Structure 1
Amino acid sequence: MKIVLVGYMGSGKTTVGKLLAKKRNLTFIDLDNYIEDSEKKTISEIFKEKGEIYFRKKELYYLEEVLNINKNIVLSTGGGTPCYGVNMNTILSATKNVFYIKVGINELVKRLSLEKEHRPLIKNIKDEEMPEFIGKHMFERSFFYSKAHHTLTTDNTTPEETVETIKSLLV
């Protein structure tokens, strides 16, 4: 069984994924961490040293590698992963259990404002510019996210409730 979680940064993919993996006795993989471990560099370092094109090629390579692992997994993708190249089609062809963890802009602003230092994409965005920045990104990315088999709006749910919903929808 392969379960893939997609959604914007700060949506809770990692939190939900870890909980789900534990409850289902599956292996949890965070794609960004997998890339960093494999490349022996942080995502920020890869972008800085080799550029986005190199990163996106490696991202697809490692995405395919993870999806071809002969294990039952819960995979949390990076927020941008589904939005580049053939990544979303690759994910959809690997499993029927793709979940878009959808969170509203206001909730994302609240969550991400607390994590700016750890998020290179928003590190230098002023707090008052965050809603517009996130809204623009969400608009651009929603086309890809919405291809997931299931969309779960999670603004007012706990990670545990989200896990229960996912468990009830698994194929």
Structure 2
Amino acid sequence: MAESLAGRSIVLVGMMGAGKSAVGKRLAGRLGLEFRDADAEIEEAAKKTISEIFASDGEAFFRDKERRVIARLLSCEEPIVLATGGGAYMNEQTRALIAERGVSIWLKAEFDVLMRRVRRKPTRPLLQTPDPEGTLKKLIEARYPTYAQADVTVLSRDVAHETVLEDVISALDTYLKAEASNTCKPDSLA
């Protein structure tokens, strides 16, 4: 399947807690590609955690750094599997770059699944509010229409990561086959 990507990376998008990193690592291993996590790359470059960046420099600074890190990762010669942060795909420049250099996969999860998962990691800066449930609902409302622009959508649910991985591989395979059949058709002479 990696050869069907034609040098493009696979970019996982979706909300915090959707499983982008967990599934991305497994997908990279299965396809023999390198896995990269945009948030981890940002933390390494800044020598701070995401929460610390938000607290000291603000969200706008973080989003600019995120955009630049993703652009750097997608400019590499070899394709990778890239897990992005929840807000990364909301940036128009980042979406355009992902469309140009990658295949985007939205790991879509329902509110209750996301809430259960993010409660386990209390360091999510966007949920440090008096009403994390309300905040998450607002983020879902704002982001899901944009996430829906991804090339592939796969439901992330409370099952083993391997099950979601198989769903991702199947959906990606279907997408790549459809893409290949559309590009191999001869032009009409009419």
Bigger Rg over Cα:
2
CA distance in 2, matches of 1:52, 1:146: 23
Which residue of structure 2 lines up, in the alignment, with residue 49 of structure 1? 56
State the match for 2:21 in structure 1.
14
Structure 2 partner of 1:111: 117
Structure 1 unaligned spans of 5+ = none
Supply the distance in 2 between the matched residues of 1:103 and 1:110 (Cα, whole angstroms): 11
When structure 1 is superposed on structure 2, of 139-148 and 38-47 the one drifting more is: 38-47
- Structure 1 Cα separation of the partners of residues 51 and 114 of structure 2: 21
Separation in structure 2 between the aligned mates of residue 100 and residue 81 of structure 1, nearest angstrom: 12
Q: How many Å separate the matches in 2 of 1:73 and 1:61?
A: 17
Who is 1:88 aligned against?
95
Correspondences of 1:135-154 after superposition (within 5 Å)? 135-154=137-156
Q: Deviations over 1:41-94 (max 9, x none)?
A: 222222222222222221111111000111221100001111124221221121
Q: RMSD value over aligned CA atoms?
A: 1.7
Partner of 2:65: 58
Distance 1:32 1:55, change over 3 A: same
The alpha carbon displacement at 1:156 in A equals 4.7
The superposition leaves residues 96-129 of structure 1 with CA deviations (integer Å, 9 ceiling, x where unpaired) of: x21100110011111112222x22222444xxx4
- What is the match of residue 120 of structure 1? 125
Q: Offset of 1:17 from its aligned partner?
A: 0.4
TM, length-normalised to structure 1: 0.88
> In the alignment, is the contact (CA less than 8 A) between 1:27 and 1:74 conserved in 2?
yes
Question: In the alignment, is the contact (CA less than 8 A) between 1:88 and 1:144 conserved in 2?
Answer: no
C-alpha contact 1:106 1:131 (8 A) present in aligned 2: no
1:5 aligned partner: 12
Match of 1:121, SS state, is: helix
Q: Percent same amino acid among aligned pairs? A: 35
Task: Please say if residues 113 and 158 of structure 2, whose CA atoms lie closer than 8 Å, have aligned partners that are also in contact.
Answer: no
Query: 1:135 offset after TM fit, Å?
Result: 1.3
For 1:70 and 1:29, the matched residues in 2 are separated by 14
Query: Which of structure 1's runs of 4+ aligned residues deviate more than 4 A?
Result: none
- Alignment: residue pair count: 166
Q: In structure 2, list runs of 5 or more residues that go unmatched.
A: 1-7, 177-190
Instruction: For 1:41, give the aligned amino acid.
Output: K
